[in-house]
Amino acid sequence: MSSETYFAALFTEHSDVALDELVQASGLTAEEIVELVEHGVLTPISAPPARLPSSAWRFSATTIAIGRRASRLKTDFDLNVSGLALALTYLERIEALEQELNRLRCSLLR
Amino acid sequence: MKYKDYYATLGVERGASEEDIKKAYRKLARKYHPDVSKEKDAEEKFKEVGEAYEVLKDAEKRAAYDQMGSYQPGQDFRPPPDWGNRFSSGADSQGFQDLGDIDLFDLLAGLNRGRARGARGDAEFRMPGQDFEAHVQVRLDDVIKGIEIEIPVASTEMAEDGTVRRTTRTVKVRIPKGATDGQRLRVPGKGGQGMGGGRAGDLYLDIKLEPHELYKVDGHDLYLEVPVAPWEAALGASAEIPTPSGKVNLKIPPGSRAGQKLRVRGRGLPRPHGGESGDLYAVLQIVTPSVLSEAEKELYGKLAQASSFNPRAHFG
């Protein structure tokens, strides 16, 4: 067994990935990603998506986690991209609410 | 080999139609899918459900599974002697003599893979390795300093002859400073091995912070409850409080209220890439002594008489 230590890379706003890397990491197809961008669920950090060919888009590394979730939902529930976009929007909203709830709980006294 | 009752997992009869199996799967998937479910053990249950569906939705795998016979879940069993010849194309060399540590699902999955391989021709067969996901629970102190952890990774590997084995290896991973609760990380190339020259999968980590006895965590910010005496709140005071990077003096302004938040800048969790650390919020809690000495009682009495403060003035 190898005793080498591997470095885990954080998904942060500081690093970005190209469309083909996102395809590879998420398991979505390039067409599905383009559609999710059109639905406004995924947003490239490069210039407005309409002005650049999709091959030149770059995404924040945090998009990888969203893309992987999208891919799981698509496979496990047989969703089309519109259904996927809706589910992801709701999940994002739930997460924002949970974060807000957590913040409020943090400032509550025991 | 241990038996798994896939029909029971999906809650359907052995003779269930394809449609019924699909319906049962959909219902359970909605209930246990880790991305939507809040059920305890959702992930574990969803894995079982997904595995059962993977086998039962595929006519070929289902037939092979049915022909193995029916046993109690978890029971050690061996498929009938002629099973291998009928269902396993390239895998007769496997012999079914030492199936002790083989997982039933891997065996069934291997059948199809073996066939796909034969059909496409060996030279053309190239498949990237599977990505793995692992949940990692770390302590607050660990994300402050960064930590090295060992992650057991269960992987299924297919040998050249088409046989499948489940192995567990340990991957040593360095979690960098700046990770916090809910954050995801990737270790490239440490997932499953690729086949036929395909690239290896990646290992994805999901960080969960263990609850801390003092600090509550919101992203990179920390919250610390700071008890103060009524006179400290009224007159102002200086209190020594702990932070992860050592003690600091907190200035409590005169006239402080219970629940008031005082920000101690940069004393939260470190951010990645050398960014400015999060903040620590001291949340004031006003506590009164449960037992008062005679002298204290007297002083409180004097205060009550001297003060014109009416905390319920707004009741009218």
Q: What is the mean pLDDT of each run of 10 residues along chain B (316 residues)?
A: 91 94 93 88 91 92 88 83 67 51 78 52 66 90 89 73 73 90 90 82 92 95 97 97 95 96 96 89 95 96 95 92
* B148, B184, B283: residue with CB nearest A11: B184
pLDDT at A85: 95
How many Cβ contacts (< 8 angstroms) between chains A and B?
97
Which one, of A72, A83, A65, A86, lies nearest residue B42 by Cα?
A: A72
Query: SS3 for A79?
Result: coil
List the structure tokens of A77: 């529930």
pTM for this model (two decimals) = 0.81
Compute CA B268 distance to the chain's CA centroid, rounded to the nearest angstrom: 23
Chain B residues whose beta carbon lies within 8 Å of the beta carbon of residue A27: 131
Report angle CA B140, B146, B149 to the nearest 5 degrees: 90
ipTM over 0.95: no
Backbone torsions φ then ψ of A6, nearest 5 degrees: -105, 150
| B110 within 8 A of B164, measured Cβ to Cβ | yes
pLDDT at B195: 77
Contact residues, B window 72-101, toward A, CB-based 8 Å cutoff: none
Buried b (16+ CB within 10 A) or exposed e, B262-299: bebeebbbbbbeeeebbbbbbbbebeeeeeeeeeeeee
| B126 within 8 A of B196, measured Cβ to Cβ | yes
pLDDT at B127: 79
Cβ of A10 and B183 within 8 Å?
Answer: yes
What is the full per-residue pLDDT of chain A (110 aa) written as tens digits?
456 888 888 887 778 999 999 999 999 999 999 999 999 999 998 767 777 888 889 999 999 999 999 999 999 998 999 999 999 999 999 999 999 999 999 988 87
pLDDT at B93: 44
In whole angstroms, give the CA distance from residue B178 to residue B173. 15
